[in-house]
Amino acid sequence: MSLKDLFLIFKKNDYEKELKNKLISLELNIEELKKSLQISQEKVISEGEGKIKDPPIIIEKINIEKIILDKYELNNNFGQLGIKELKGKLNIGATYGSEFTPNLNKEEKKSIKNETKRQKEVDKDMKVNIKAKKD
């Protein structure tokens, strides 16, 4: 046997030993990963049970004292709005007169007229005598 053959045999044995060592270390790493995965799953399960045990929060009344509104958008779409009739007056400036009296029903107008008639009749029946002092 030559010296080269002897080195090849040792080399083959070394290579096989290295492969075996690598396999053993990989198997150990896989076992550690399995254990850590089991531990993390148990933690998740225990935390989930803890959350379920808490009673639900029920809010019956809320008092809001201040509302801060950053942006308010108002969109008016008048595209579908139709105007059939438009009545009224446009007054610019100070206008005084009967146009601004509230509209009354016919019954209210009659009752106001009757009251004014009664007042006039009462005024007619009243007499006031004024006498001057004689010195």
Task: Give the confidence band of 123 by pLDDT, cuts at 50, 70, 90.
Answer: low
Specify the pLDDT at position 39.
92
Q: What is the pLDDT of residues 27-80, one digit of tens each?
A: 999 999 999 999 999 888 877 665 566 678 898 998 888 888 888 888 777 777
Note the pLDDT of residue 135.
Answer: 59
Among residues 89, 87, 86, the alpha carbon closest in space to that of 99 is found at: 89
**For residues 9 and 1, is the Cβ–Cβ distance under 8 A?**
no
